[in-house]
Amino acid sequence: MTERSTPPGTEPAIRRWSHRDARPIGALWFDAYMREPDRGGGLIPNARSSLVDWIRDRERDRSNFGYVAESGDVLVGFLLGRIGVWDFEPPILRPRKLSRIDAVFVVESVRRLGVATALVETAVQHARAAGAAGVEAVFETDNPAAEALWRKRGFVAGVARAYRSLRP
């Protein structure tokens, strides 16, 4: 586990991500993923390095954005989002420019200190400045921390996706 703690008295600072953040973001995300019960069909070979490569590719694509929380030079949280003009199905609604936040993560040692709140509010400002009509967040409904975070930030849950496993 690569989780690091914050030196006492230092408040995490939020900044826009850069390509150098792909590796530490990947490390935090992969470790968190490994602690989750397996919901899929297992990991691909080289999953850890593939995750870092994917984050790097995302960082190069200008429709994506990311912010990190740093304490000193230690990365203690991240948020990944994107902005795009989404088509709707069936295609009878006017396409709208929207932002989607795909992931927010804060290391355990600095949770409940407002770090995710600061990341989310920075992302919302980013989306507003980019002309998005709204921001969508994706989270698992059995995650009370995520549910409470989004609700508190003014996100109203509207669509649920349900899953039924066909494995014994």
Ligand X SMILES: CC(C)(COP(=O)(O)OP(=O)(O)OC[C@H]1O[C@@H](n2cnc3c(N)ncnc32)[C@H](O)[C@@H]1OP(=O)(O)O)[C@@H](O)C(=O)NCCC(=O)NCCS
Pick the binder of ligand X from 105, 123, 126, 132 (CB under 6 A): 105
Q: Which candidate, 26, 82, 75, 17, places its Cα nearest to that of 50?
A: 26
Q: Out of 15, 16, 111, 128, which residue is the one contacting ligand X (CB under 6 A)?
A: 111
> Which residue among 60, 112, 164, 167 contacts ligand X (CB under 6 A)?
112
Distance CA 12, CA 109 (A): 12
CB of 66 to ligand X, least distance (A): 13
The reply to whether 113 sits near ligand X by the rule CB under 6 A is yes
Type and span of the H or E element at 14: strand 13-16
Contact residues for 18 (Cβ-Cβ < 8 A; gap 6+): 59
Output Rg (C-alpha) for the chain, integer angstroms. 17
Minimum Å gap between C-beta 57 and ligand X is 20
Nearest to 133 by CA among 102, 98, 100, 101: 98
* From candidates 116, 123, 132, 135, binder to ligand X by CB under 6 A: 116
Applying the rule CB under 6 A, the residues between 143 and 162 that interact with ligand X are 143-146, 148-149, 152
Q: Which is nearer to ligand X, 22 or 115 (CB)?
A: 115
Q: What's the Cα-to-Cα distance from 126 to each of 13, 19, 29, 134, 155, rounded to whole Å?
A: 16, 19, 23, 11, 16
Total of chain residues touching ligand X, rule CB under 6 A: 19
Residues in contact with ligand X by CB under 6 A are 103-106, 111-117, 139, 143-146, 148-149, 152
